[in-house]
Amino acid sequence: MNKIRTYPNVIWITLVILASAVVVWVTGMMIYASISDFLDGDGLDLDTGGLLTLIFFVLAFLFMIFSMWEGVSYYACYVVFDDEGVRIVRPLRLYKVHYTWSALKGYSQSEYIIGKRGGSDSDYDSFYSSSSIIIYTLDDKAYEIVKLYNWKFDEVQPELKKSGIKYLGYEAFRRGWLFRQYRFLEKGVRSNYED
């Protein structure tokens, strides 16, 4: 077998990182302006309600920043197929894992959903969705490869089929509290948080 690999979509990854940096900068400037006025006592007289509102917005912005970084660093990966198995690399996390073909449980097709405009969990009406393939391992881990983040994505499924990896079926997108839930994991939630 020749070595087959996907390549990270550096244009999309760069755009997401730049957008995250702008959000961080704006948030930092807002927090700095609010705190400096509060500490100096020059004009901003925060009562308990104002302080709680400030804390709420700071925490909301920090959660948004965490979500952006978590998304881009988790999904910005590339996959290498060779004679011995599959290697998954997440360069932004300095994370690399290799599984032999016999250590793979199977794979499924799904979609990566960005945004939600209502509907139930089983019927997302999204702002944008991208095809994805989820590779499941026998040690109950899932690795999602998203087309939006990978060039040569269309070579992933044929390579898995050619290598005899079991197709587990299609799974609808299900959002958990912080992370996506996967249908074919025993625990249901993402369990491969770089151990």
Name 161's Cβ contacts closer than 8 Å, sequence gap at least 6: 167
Residue 41 DSSP code: T
Entry pTM: 0.74
The domain locations on the chain are 7-73, 77-181
The mean pLDDT values, 10 residues at a time, for the chain of 195 residues are 77 84 80 66 59 77 78 84 89 89 91 64 61 90 88 88 90 75 69 45
Q: Is 189 exposed, middle or buried (0-12, 13-18, 19+ CB in 10 A)?
A: middle
Give the HSE-up count for residue 18: Cα atoms under 13 Å, Cβ half-sphere. Answer: 6
Question: How far apart are the C-alpha atoms of 47 and 56, rounded to whole Å?
Answer: 14
- Which CATH architecture describes the domain 77-181? Roll (2.30)
Backbone dihedral region for residue 158 (phi beyond 0: left; psi -120 to 50: alpha; all else: beta)? alpha
